Amino acid sequence: MFQLNGKIAAVTGSGSGIGKAVALLLAKQGAEVHLIDLNEEAVNTSASEINQANGKAAPHVCNVTNQQQVKELFNSIGKIDVLVNSAGVSHVGNVENTTEEDFDRLYKVNVKGVYNCLQAAVSLMNKNKSGVILNVASIANHVGITDRFAYSMTKGAVYAMTLSVARDYLHEGIRCNCISPARVHTPFVDGFLKNNYPGREEEMFNKLSKSQPIGRMAKPEEIAHLVLYLCSDEASFITGCDYPIDGGFLKLNN
What are the two backbone dihedrals, phi and then psi, of residue 139, each rounded to the nearest 5 degrees? -60, -20
DSSP assignment of 51-70? HHTT-EEEEEE--TT-HHHH
The dihedral of CA 153, 159, 165, 167: what is its sign? negative
DSSP state of 213: T
Q: 69 with 62: CB under 8 angstroms? A: yes
Q: In 78-137, which residue ranges form alpha helices assigned H by DSSP?
A: 100-106, 113-128
* 243 given a catalytic annotation: no
User: By C-alpha distance, which of 95, 99, 111, 91 is closest to 151?
Assistant: 91
Q: Could you say which of 115, 151, 159, 169 is catalytic? A: 151
Straight-line distance from the first to the last Cα atom of the chain, in angstroms, rounded to the nearest whole number: 37
User: Which residues are part of the catalytic machinery?
Assistant: 151
